[in-house]
Chain A
Amino acid sequence: MNQILRIAFFALIVRPLMMIVLGTNVRRSELLPNSGPAIIVANHNSHLDVFALMNVLGLKRLPNVRPVAAADYFMTRRLRRWFATRIVGIIPIDRSKIRREDGKHPLDPISEVLQNNGIVLLFPEGTRGEPEKMDDFQSGVAHIARRHPEIPITPVFMHGLGKALPKGEALLVPFFCDMFVGRPLDSQLKKRELMNQLIASMDELAAELPIEAWS
């Protein structure tokens, strides 16, 4: 990661974009973790999600913030790969490899970041999918929780950026982004219970939206 370029990018490009063109409505930002190690899980609508979330976390926390992203998408083209790893600072995880390979568990890179007090962003839907529709959550977050039962998992419900820049569109249309932060989940739970708690928490946060119509 190039920390100087990274801070410059977030301060000079992402922040004005989020402040002027898009705009964020954050509820309960005080529930966001102040320092690592921590895990934030959010639903995924748009490429902009990660920037909005990192912008809300702020420049002070930025050096520790690492989003988990699909290696099979972001590590393919050279420029995309450079931007994803150097500027955004992703932890690339290959979605197709689920087995242990050459003695390394596929989740090891995430554990490594968490051990270095990182704040890991996870989008358990695994894909942006159809904008503003929540897909089923992958259980990767539960596997991470089992490896690090002491680390808090904070759910964040995001809405609006799927309208601003949905999958497959290049034209950015200004819309507000709602970001509702929930109470940290109980990381000690078993896989199925943890996933149920995550789904319940997300549904509860989504219900805070006054009117949802994007047909």
Chain B
Amino acid sequence: MSHLAWEIRVTLLSIFAMLAASNCILFFKMRYYPGVDDTLIRHRIRTWWALAGLFSLALSVSPQGGVVFFGFISFLALKEFLSMSPTRRADRRVLFYAYLSVIPQYYFASTDNYQMFLVFIPVITFAWLPTRMWMIGQSDGFQKAAGTLLWALMITVYSLSHTAYLLTTSMTQDTASRTLTLDVTQVAEQHAGPGLLIFLIIMAEANDIFQYVSGKPFGKKQVSPNIAPGKTYAGLIGGIMLTTCLAGFVGPLITPMDLAHSVFAGFMIASVGFAGELCICALKRDLKITNFGATLPGHGGVLDRVGNLIFSAPLFFHFIHYCYHQ
């Protein structure tokens, strides 16, 4: 546990406290307003308990535990993607290689192998999978099949693996120039990874909640009525503003980022997270499905849950790398 700074432990505990609080609210709501069907929200909270519990457990073993956790999430997301998308019968073996690519990608993340991590999917797999496809010798539908598969790998494996790499990130640059009086402990400086990852996830999920609370009462004009009728400008802007504020508060507490960096990171995670989510919405509309499965009761599939991370995880990772790791 020595790799988890006390700030991180407190953060994890407060996440559980918040989950417990929502259970209490739900309990009293059921007492005073019986008859309202809240199965969905109950399932949703229970799934959050399971996710937060598994994540904390994996993380408390070692940072590598967290890497395995996200590797598994990538595998599940890829499986959902390929099960829902049209594929060619001839490509069964190619799909098998696509699944296999999860292992090296997360291995490079866990060993902090920056160069290989960056090139494995967009360079090596990018060359190998279409090569294996022409070897099969079926040209019908080649373009669609190759496009679908590489796009699937970028979303579900490449993007998401940046969450895992955040865990093994170390801060080399001097962070003494911090502007706030609240200082992170030395453990948090040396093992910045868990704090950065938890920051990313809290911001991405908080953005969801903030979008809801500001979109519900004020939302009128839809951002994209054809793709996501529920998303309004009020929700989008409210979400970004509130997330940015929260980031300014949380960032300096649990990560080595200073106030300015934290605020910028919060703004970026919220806005790019929204873009990622709408991408998944458009994808689902195209595939004529409402969600990617039932792996996470109350949420849908894994891909429905991680939509807000597909763009924000790589961007946040490179933001950190650019600012602190040169």
**Is A116 at the interface (CB under 8 A from chain B)?**
no
**Is B318 at the interface (CB under 8 A from chain A)?**
no
Q: Are B287 and A171 in contact (CB under 8 A)?
A: no
Who on chain A is nearest to B83 by CB? A176
Known: A210-B289, A213-B86, A214-B86. A176 touches B92 (CB 8 A): no
CA distance A176 to B294 in the complex (A): 11
Binary interface encoding of chain B residues 76-110 relative to chain A, with 1 for a CB under 8 A from any of its CBs, else 0: 10011011111111001101100100000000000
Query: Which residues of A sit under 8 angstroms from B96, Cβ to Cβ?
Result: 171, 173
Contact partner of A171 (CB less than 8 A), chosen from B76, B82, B87, B92, is B92
A24 to chain B, nearest CB (A): 9
**Is B140 at the interface (CB under 8 A from chain A)?**
yes
Known: A210-B287, A211-B287. A173 touches B89 (CB 8 A): no
Size category, A interface = 10 to 19
CA distance A25 to B290 in the complex (A): 13
B77 to chain A, nearest CB (A): 12
Contact partner of A215 (CB less than 8 A), chosen from B76, B82, B89, B99, is B89
**Is B230 at the interface (CB under 8 A from chain A)?**
no
CA distance A175 to B76 in the complex (A): 10
Q: Are B88 and A215 in contact (CB under 8 A)?
A: yes
Query: Which residues of B sit under 8 angstroms from A176, Cβ to Cβ?
Result: 79-80, 83-84, 293
Known: A173-B96, A176-B83. A214 touches B89 (CB 8 A): yes
Query: Which residues of A sit under 8 angstroms from B80, Cβ to Cβ?
Result: 176
Who on chain B is nearest to A159 by CB? B83
CA distance A175 to B89 in the complex (A): 12
Query: Which residues of B sit under 8 angstroms from A169, Cβ to Cβ?
Result: 92
CA distance A175 to B75 in the complex (A): 11
A133 to chain B, nearest CB (A): 11
A203 to chain B, nearest CB (A): 18
A13 to chain B, nearest CB (A): 19
Q: Are B99 and A174 in contact (CB under 8 A)?
A: yes
**Is A61 at the interface (CB under 8 A from chain B)?**
no
9 residue pairs A–B, Cβ–Cβ below 8 Å: A23-B79, A25-B293, A160-B83, A171-B93, A173-B92, A175-B82, A210-B288, A211-B86, A215-B88
Known pairs A211-B287, A214-B89, A215-B89 / 18 extra A-B pairs, C-beta < 8 Å: A23-B76, A25-B294, A163-B87, A163-B89, A163-B92, A169-B92, A173-B95, A173-B96, A175-B83, A176-B79, A176-B293, A210-B287, A210-B288, A210-B289, A213-B86, A214-B88, A215-B86, A215-B141
